[in-house]
Amino acid sequence: MKKFACLLAALLLATLFAACGNDDGASGAGSQPGGDTSAPASAVSGGESAQPAASDNTLVMATNAFFEPYEYYEGDDIVGIDAEVGKAIADKLGMDFSISDVDFDAIIPNVQSGKATMGMAGMTVTPDREKNVSFTRSYSTGIQVVIVPEGSDIASLDDMEGKMIGVQQGTTGDIYCSDTPENGGFGEENVTRYNKGSDAVMALLSGKVDCVVIDNEPAKAFVAANEGLKILDTAYAEEQYAICVAKDNQEMLEKIDTALGELIDDGTVQEIVDKYITAE
């Protein structure tokens, strides 16, 4: 489906404009296996049971922690690139740090309501999201890819027409795929949404969906951790990941963006990325 690719390209351009002037602090590819997809649906890093409130002293990062290598569970702890960069930002600002694991589509509402200080979740900057929250500079890039079972008859985007596509609810993969064919999507009726990316992959493994559209690094981690899956060999749109902050919290946006800029410039972000993503 060439329209899909065109739409992705258009979105890429819009995103690039939106992120114009931003640094890209990450690169590389590859992944580590072993994502724990059976972790609790909601938890807070460090084993605390109650969700801490964002305050002057505590930087609360809202995320959705089934997205290795950006955020995922290791036992009860949430680790990953976002978890570590978020902690480094809090350290720079002299704030305590805590992570709140919520559904992906609850991240922006949590940030808007002040429950979380910032949202950091391998979140793509899109013009629509920019209407609701402010974004920092970009710290990493992502690409939407398609995971299929080995031996699938889906070999290209065109082959996805009429197939059932699994996505994580509210992600850019969901937004692209569930759009109408006239707009380059595959239509709502061909998309099944899951709360977690890992649930979409489980559905693929059990044959409930024919493919999964998700970001490239988590896709690599899922494929490495589960036998019988592969990623389609087609280049798609590149997206920019950034941290979101409430529109009415300009002061915090500037603080976080400045801290992030320093961490990119002094190589800390790259060091963290290299720890989780091994170059091919």
Cβ-in-10-Å burial (0-12, 13-18, 19+) of 83 comes to buried
Contact characters 145-184, ligand ARG, x per CB under 6 A: -----------------------x--xx------------
C-alpha–C-alpha distance, residues 167 and 193, integer Å: 5
Q: By CB under 6 A, name the one of 121, 202, 211, 237 that touches ligand ARG.
A: 121
Residue 197 touching ligand ARG (CB under 6 A): yes
Stretch that binds ligand ARG, among 16-24, 47-55, 66-74, 178-186 (CB under 6 A): 66-74
The contacts of residue 55 (CB under 8 Å, 6+ apart) are none
Q: Which residues lie across from 63 on neighbouring strands?
A: 101
Q: Applying CB under 6 A, which part among 23-31, 62-70, 83-91, 262-270 lies near ligand ARG?
A: 62-70
What is d(CA 79, CA 77) in angstroms, rounded to the nearest whole number? 6
Please provide residue 138's backbone torsions phi and psi, each rounded to the nearest 5 degrees: -80, 145
Q: Does 67 bind ligand ARG (CB under 6 A)?
A: yes
* Smallest separation (angstroms) from ligand ARG to the CB of 200: 10
Structure tokens at 279: 């170059």
Q: How near is the Cβ of 266 to ligand ARG at its closest, in Å?
A: 25
The whole-angstrom separation of Cα 159 and Cα 210 is 11
From residue 219 to residue 258, the character string flagging contacts with ligand ARG as x (rule: CB under 6 A) and all else as - is --------------------x-------------------
> Are 89 and 259 contacting, i.e. CB atoms less than 8 angstroms apart?
yes
Radius of gyration of the chain (CA): 18
Instruction: Choose, by CB under 6 A, the member of 39, 54, 79, 123 that binds ligand ARG.
Output: 123
- Nearer to ligand ARG by Cβ, of 17 and 162: the residue is 17
